[in-house]
Homo-oligomer: A and B are copies of this chain.
Amino acid sequence: MADTIRVGVVGASGYVGGELLRLLVNHRNVKLAIATSKQYNGEPVFRIHPNLRSFTDVQFTEPDATQLKQNCDFVFTAVPHGSAVKIVPSLIDASLKIVDMSADYRLKDPRAYEHWYRFAHPQIELLKSTTLGIPELYRDQIKTSRFVANPGCMAITSILALAPFVKAGFLDLEHIVVDAKIGSSGGGVKPTLGTHHAERYGVMRPYKPVDHRHTAEIEQELTNFAGREVRISMTPHAMNVVRGILCTIHCYTVDHVTNPQVWRLIRDFYQNCPFIRFVKDKKGISRYPDPKILPGSNFCDIGFEIDERMNRLLLLSATDNLMKGAAGNAVQCMNLMMGFDEREGLEFPGLHPI
């Protein structure tokens, strides 16, 4: 097939940017054209992302809109929250297709930016027309979109587990608890005392245990699916791994539910979704989703258990936060936006053991 597109990554020295590079250099329909980094301008990308040694000779360049427009067909913007709004509009104007990895376009309601980000969003119209990049929920829209906002890592992991049940009206919407566990790569590349190995190793450390910003994305989507306002109780924890998210979602059902009912619901909801796996076994040590086996893979593994005594439906979802939680999902969106095979570049099965 003739389809090779030229792709740029803005903000390519961070962990999400680096994961995009990894996926792009091995993608059959992509030529990596530009990887920007102010800090590492002029350095080969493999100096920062040492796994790419021998895979590419691309060097980091200063971010430059003209260069991107001239040399790219598609751009991923992987810049900090609040920075994407400064570069995305001009890239859109230049007719580039774009997936933005930041939080700047995930929420529809500008007031939500004020509440959760203390940020007066300057592009309210663009917010409204942006497609949220969750292929399992918005595949058709993504296919025809030129601009997609990639969701937050804990948000997508939670939403994928909850959406079928909220839509089906199974749940007591007042008491949804998302207890999230996440590895250190989710916090980004910038060293701080809290991420210093001696301080971060071995922790089980709540961070932003109330009012975490991903709450807003989850509530937006669940509200959509419920048809009425939904609020959730979310608490993330830093855990002693580098990659991986487990969302343990404690819900109560409005009626008694059975295993076959739950099975049927999620299987029907996620037909033809190559990156959703259902994990619930009666034997073996891998009966539930576990992010341990997911590094490098694009799966969201979903499982559940019914707590009869409590009418509790326990939902479990696991991802690699840099893959289905970020770069992998974004490449999946690109594949859809460009008419490529949805799985292209995302076939890695993960490792066992690791």
Contact = CB atoms under 8 A, between A and B. Distances in A.
Interface string A207-218: 001110000000
Interface stretch (A77-85, A118-126, A147-155, A184-192): A184-192
Q: Number of contact residues on A: which range applies?
A: 35 or more
Nearest to A181: B204
A49 interface: yes
Report the copy number of this chain in the oligomer: 4
A47 B310 contact: no
Interface stretch (A59-67, A138-146, A160-168, A232-240): A232-240
A209 B305 contact: yes
Contact of A290 (B49, B197, B204): B204
Interface in A321-354: 347-354
Interface string A293-321: 10111010100011111101010101000
A185 B198 CA distance: 6
Contacts of A184: 196-198, 201, 353
B198 A242 contact: yes
Most buried by B among A53, A277, A293, A296: A53
A11 to B, nearest CB: 16
Most buried by B among A200, A296, A351: A351
A285 interface: yes
A284 B48 contact: yes
A285 B52 contact: no
Contacts of A240: 201, 239-241
Interface in A172-190: 175, 177, 179, 181, 183-185, 187, 189-190
B349 A52 contact: yes
Given A175-B175, A179-B248, A248-B235, A205 B290 contact: yes
9 contacts: A50-B279, A184-B198, A189-B193, A189-B196, A203-B290, A210-B308, A242-B354, A243-B351, A295-B295
